[in-house]
Structure 1
């Protein structure tokens, strides 16, 4: 899998930038006579903003694919980010390996079943997909992956029942897109997939975008 610039160099640059910023802010606050305890509080808040809040926002709320890609590229060694990175930059084998790595890394059963469902979906294995889906405790995720398994088996009536239970927009449109694709309706597929991407945020938006890009490039045919 092709790697972007060294994540170590990127982290070093960010650390240098953070230290320089903290130093500058500290000097400015001291010059204008801000009390020491307020200075410490401001620096602490800056650290939390940069190191904690910003990554959480990028992963779960950002709509900027470029920002998400930059963060994922710098953290692709971690299993979950490795899967997203492989979807954007790797081969089919890379995607499978990163999904298997997640399943082997995390002990939480739901994590194993959700990413196991993603692997089964990627491998077009409806029986394994449905088996994983039925074990997911989150009802909406269970219905979402079950619906995909039913579509894969051309059981559109059962898929429609699963679809009716979904409330999250990106899930609704993603399942509709897959059903349209299975029926051979490319126009409906693109329309629903675009709506799914537009209604998603963070890493989910990023992954959906690259699923559609790969389909357009013929990677999933």
Structure 2
């Protein structure tokens, strides 16, 4: 859908450059950067800022050949076989052990395989995500004291609220869980918002 407007704008722009005989490299480079930004903005908007669930879902399904996007869709919608298949493919394609760990831990937590999830924790290099996933694991293990220490230390608002929602859900405090779930959604956007929305449904 975006390729036609991009093509039209590019054609008009190049005609403009040619017609006015603009040869300044800075202006040409600026135009090139503008074209790239115009082409990728719709995708970035969906990934990072969008909050329209049907729109995000249409994007994910339209781009289902992209394993990363389809894995997000499969995890959010609880498609067990697709989760296993796409995670296996992502892991085999990735050469970064930390990225492999993120794929594997997402799958392990979905299937409540806490042993497998624990094995992947040390390979996650981003401290915030390592703490976030460890918080989930400790909550599922019933280690509330450890989980609470992790929750207290987490700085990212949506991560903290998501863990608090899970803690209250496991404790049977559904009103509190809903409160924290809504707060987590409010402080997230794009694919993260979509994932949280589908999880909290």
Query: By the TM > 0.5 criterion, same fold?
Result: yes
**Cα drift, residue 91 of structure 1:** 2.5
Q: Does 1:153 align with 2:141?
A: yes
Match of 1:176 in 2: 164
The whole-number CA distance in structure 1 between the counterparts of 2:46 and 2:159 is: 20
Q: For 1:71, which of 59, 63, 66 is the aligned residue?
A: 59
Alpha-carbon distance between aligned partners in 2 of 1:127 and 1:89, rounded to the nearest angstrom: 23
Alpha carbons of 1:42 and 1:198: their partners in 2 closer, same or farther (altered >3 Å)? same
Structure 2 length-normalised TM? 0.83
CA contact (8 A) 2:6 2:39 kept: no
Q: Give CA-to-partner distance per residue, 1:192-213, whole Å, 9 cap, x none.
A: 1121111112211121111122
* Cα deviation, residue 51, structure 1: 2.6
Mark the runs of 5 or more structure 2 residues left unpaired by the alignment. Answer: none
Q: Tell me, what secondary structure is at the counterpart of 1:137?
A: coil
For 2:85 and 2:177, the matched residues in 1 are separated by 27
In structure 2, the partner of 1:164 is 152
Structure 2: distance between partners of 1:44 and 1:185: 54
Structure 1 residues 58 and 37: CA distance shift in structure 2, 3 A: farther
RMSD (Å), alpha carbons = 2.6
Q: Find the aligned partners of 2:14 and 2:95 in 1 and give their Cα distance.
A: 43
1:97–1:191 CA distance, 2 compared to 1 (3 A) = farther
Out of 29, 36, 41, which is 2:22 matched to? 36
Aligned to 2:173: 185
2 CA distance for matches of 1:187 and 1:96? 33
Structure 1 counterpart of 2:35, from 47, 50, 75:
47
Is the contact made by 1:87 and 1:210 (CA closer than 8 Å) also made in structure 2?
Answer: no
TM-score, length-scaled by structure 1: 0.77
Q: 1:148, CA displacement in angstroms?
A: 0.8
CA contact (8 A) 2:2 2:39 kept: no
Contact 2:165 2:181 in 1 (8 A): yes
How many angstroms does 1:132 deviate by? 1.4
| Matched residue SS, 1:135 | coil
Matched, 1:94 2:82: yes
